[in-house]
Amino acid sequence: MTESRTTAAHGGAIGLHGIKKWFGNFQAVDNVTLDIRPNEFFTLLGPSGCGKTTLLRMIAGFEMPTEGQVLLDGSDISGLLPNQRPVNTVFQNYALFPHLTVAENIGFGLKMLGRPKAEITSVVNDMLKLVHLDGRGHNPVTQLSGGQQQRVALARALAPRPKVLLLDEPLSALDLKLRKSMQIELKRLQLETGITFVFVTHDQEEALTMSDRIAVMSAGTVRQVGSPWDIYDRPAERFVADFIGETNFLSADVVSVADNRARVRLSSGAEISASFPADVTPNGSVTVVVRPEHARAGAPTGTSALRGVVHDIVYLGTDTHVHVRLDDGTAFMVRQQNARSGHCGFSKGDTVGIDFSDDVAQILRD
Amino acid sequence: MFRSRFDIKSQPGFGFITLFTFFALYLPIGALVVYSFNDAESLSQWGGFSGRWFVAAWQNSAVQDAAIRSLIIALWAASLATVAALMAALATTRTAPYRGQTLKYAMINQPLMVPEIVTAVALLIVFSRIKVWTGYSGLGYLVLAHTAFCIPFAYLPIRARLESMDLTLERAAADLYASRWQTFRHVTLPLLRPAVIAGFMLAFVISLDDVVITEFVKSGGQDTLPTYMLGQLRRETTPEINAIATVFLALSTVLVVIFFFINRKKQ
């Protein structure tokens, strides 16, 4: 209920329909169709050169799609100039106007829209409070720290109340600690303002932390769209599973399929249950993924799903990574939380059995 | 160790060459300034200290006349050249690279490459035709000629600044609802201001200083300060021209200092 109310007030829906973009002979975006819902925190995630920034710039109006349409709340904005779109951008290098003060930067959009001075002043003051820069309005932006500049850039883009806020890797220039606190800050701002956020990043952790939904991109195409949970726990294909977090790939044969679950036989002969992408009917030999934290290593028993020999143990403080060479030669990693202090219980060369619960395995699309 | 071995200051002959260069550059100018305070009638014989040639120059109506004309021409030419250079610089840096761009640079900078005497003769021919057709013989020809050769001097600093300017600033302005004109007015121009002032001052000094083209283009009674001084050399010369030259030197020094401070404030 609340959602629909705030939606009507602020957030816009973005539709990207059949977008293709060529730069000379290079195809940056290959037939992307995405629907970004009103009022959501949507992330375009992928390695550099995957086309995510190009998509963002097409929503902003800095690039025109070679083919396809950009829709805002259902109407085609493909032909509009950047200054005609109710969409604002937070730039990677902030792009603050160095000759203006903090307040003048934040009020720039409203001034260009010809809003009355009194309104600009009051919005600017609200924005300064929102980003915790009260009393800094008269400072030149060049005297601010990186984190403060980042917040001015955010306030400047939010001040005109855009329907959609575009963020182009805005945290990449900050150090780790600041980045973490800005992640929480961004999520708070998005909830408070109810504006649709479209966030571009190559950092999977950032994406998982903040997003309502994530589109994972590679080579100009969208590989998978879903909630952070979908993307992490139910990767549809190898690229997504590999790009997000660490994972184990196992080859298996499909035994039977029933009710969105499949029985697969691993190379060890053990049978486990696995889920699979909705648009796939698994059969024959498939690849199954299991996250390292979903597996347990212990003394081998007759019912162990997998067996292997420990060849490396890496202590990471909170966790220990146990690297196992399975009987069929595949590498497999188990992540154990270090609940108690001391040794993890294995040594190199130990033979171990590996088990996991029934609902953690996922079959990949070929 | 490392620093001192490779520091240019420790190379043999560095001190001598430095001194020689400074003398070669500044000794004549120093002599000019000293002799402008010479009480004697002669250009080269010292006759005691006096400021009388400054007074004489100041009171000479021909000098006054030429100085005012020089300033009028320089102000007009520098202003027009700066506007033209600004437009040219925007057109050559804010567009995607295209064929013939280098040729365009060359054409804008043509006055730096074509010998001045060639331009002077060419303008003389063209303007004398136009004078016959229109009957107009005012300062416009000089302003036009000066504008033309001032453009590259105004263009170079503006273009350099535009090239080093972050393009995302203009993009950010457009993103924040600024039209093209508003972007130029509120972002590009304020950021360009130091370069525009530098370009204007360079053009102003270049115009003030010009002899060759002015000499060819001017009509009778249109002497600027430099052509007046040149004319004086042909007759009996007095230290008055030393005094005028010293004032010129002071003026351009002031401009350079202003320019320096504007640039430093920017950083």
Question: Structural domain tally of chain B?
Answer: 1
Residue B106 domain flag: yes
pLDDT in tens, B8-38: 777 778 888 888 998 888 888 888 888 888 8
Q: How far is B265 from chain A (nearest CA, A)?
A: 12
**Phi/psi of residue A221, each to 5°?**
-125, 155
Q: Name the amino acid, one letter, at B17.
A: I
Model confidence at B103: pLDDT above 90: no
Provide the pLDDT for residue A3: 38
pLDDT in tens, B219-248: 878 888 888 888 887 776 677 888 888 888
Strand pairing category for A87-90 and A164-168: parallel
CB contact under 8 A, A88 and B173: no
- Measured between alpha carbons, how far is A178 from A162 in angstroms, rounded to an integer? 26
- By the 8 A CB rule, do A364 and A286 touch? yes
- By the 8 A CB rule, do B123 and B145 touch? yes
- Measured between alpha carbons, how far is A3 from A135 in angstroms, rounded to an integer? 33
Q: Which residues contact B151 (CB under 8 A, 6 or more apart)?
A: B81, B84, B85, B88, B108, B111, B203
Secondary structure element (H or E) that encloses residue A309, with its range: strand A306-315
B236 touches chain A (CB under 8 A): no
Q: Which residues contact A260 (CB under 8 A, 6 or more apart)?
A: A275, A276, A278
When the pLDDT of each residue in chain B is averaged and rounded to a whole number, the result is: 84
Residue B128 domain flag: yes
B233 touches chain A (CB under 8 A): no
End-to-end CA distance of chain B: 33
Model confidence at B119: pLDDT above 90: no
CB contact under 8 A, A89 and B174: no
- Reduce the DSSP state of residue A325 to 3 states and report it: strand
Q: How far is B176 from chain A (nearest CA, A)?
A: 4
**Phi/psi of residue B184, each to 5°?**
-65, -45
**Phi/psi of residue B79, each to 5°?**
-65, -50
- Measured between alpha carbons, how far is B261 from A115 in angstroms, rounded to an integer? 37
Tokens of B200: 């204007």
- Measured between alpha carbons, how far is A176 from A160 in angstroms, rounded to an integer? 30
Domain range for B230:
63-266
Of A92-96, A256-260, B45-49, B106-110, the range with the highest mean pLDDT is A92-96
Residue B213 domain flag: yes
**Phi/psi of residue A163, each to 5°?**
-75, -30
Residue in this structure with the two tokens 């002969």, named with its chain if needed: A269
pLDDT in tens, B137-191: 788 888 998 998 899 999 988 988 888 888 889 999 999 999 889 999 999 999 9
Bridge partners of A324, per DSSP, are A310, A332
Q: Cβ contacts (< 8 Å) between A156 and chain B: which residues?
A: 176
Q: How far is A143 from chain B (nearest CA, A)?
A: 13
**CATH number (domain holding residue B78):** 1.10.3720.10
**Phi/psi of residue A123, each to 5°?**
-65, -40
- By the 8 A CB rule, do A102 and A48 touch? no
Tokens of A96: 């603050």
Provide the pLDDT for residue B14: 82
Provide the pLDDT for residue A341: 66
- By the 8 A CB rule, do A159 and A125 touch? no
List strands edge to edge, sheet with A14-23: A26-36, A14-23, A67-72, A75-76
Secondary structure element (H or E) that encloses residue A332, with its range: strand A331-337
Nearest to A88 by CA among A180, A205, A174, A170: A170
Nearest to A197 by CA among A14, A9, A5, A3: A14
CB contact under 8 A, B177 and A62: no
DSSP strand E in B11-50: where? none
- By the 8 A CB rule, do A285 and A252 touch? yes
Q: Name the amino acid, one letter, at B60.
A: N
Provide the pLDDT for residue A97: 92
Mutate which: B166, B167, B175, vs A, most A CBs within 10 A: B175
pLDDT in tens, A304-354: 788 888 888 888 888 888 898 888 888 888 888 887 766 667 788 888 888
Residue B253: band (very low, low, confident or very high) from pLDDT cuts 50, 70, 90: confident
**Nearest CB to A89; choose among B175, B187, B190:** B175
Nearest to A46 by CA among A240, A181, A208: A240
- Measured between alpha carbons, how far is B266 from B61 in angstroms, rounded to an integer? 41
Mutate which: A23, A64, A91, A96, vs B, most B CBs within 10 A: A91
Beta-carbon neighbour count of residue A7 at 10 Å? 17
This prediction's pTM: 0.78
Provide the pLDDT for residue A10: 67
Provide the pLDDT for residue A225: 92
ipTM of this complex prediction, to 2 decimal places? 0.77
Provide the pLDDT for residue B5: 60
Model confidence at B122: pLDDT above 70: yes
Residue B140 domain flag: yes
State the alpha helices, DSSP H only, in A214-327: 228-233, 238-243
Model confidence at B59: pLDDT above 80: yes
Tokens of B119: 């331009």
**How does DSSP classify residue B184?**
I
Residue B165 domain flag: yes
3-state helix, strand, coil in chain B (%, to 5): 80, 0, 20
**Phi/psi of residue A252, each to 5°?**
-150, 165
Residue B131 domain flag: yes
Mutate which: B167, B177, B179, B266, vs A, most A CBs within 10 A: B177
Residue B263: band (very low, low, confident or very high) from pLDDT cuts 50, 70, 90: low
Q: Which residues of chain A have pLDDT under 50?
A: 1-9
Q: How far is A37 from chain B (nearest CA, A)?
A: 22
Bridge partners of A41, per DSSP, are A197
State the alpha helices, DSSP H only, in chain A: 2-9, 52-60, 102-112, 117-130, 146-158, 176-193, 204-210, 228-233, 238-243
Provide the pLDDT for residue B267: 46
Nearest CA in chain B to A87: B175
Residue B237 domain flag: yes
Residue B52 domain flag: no
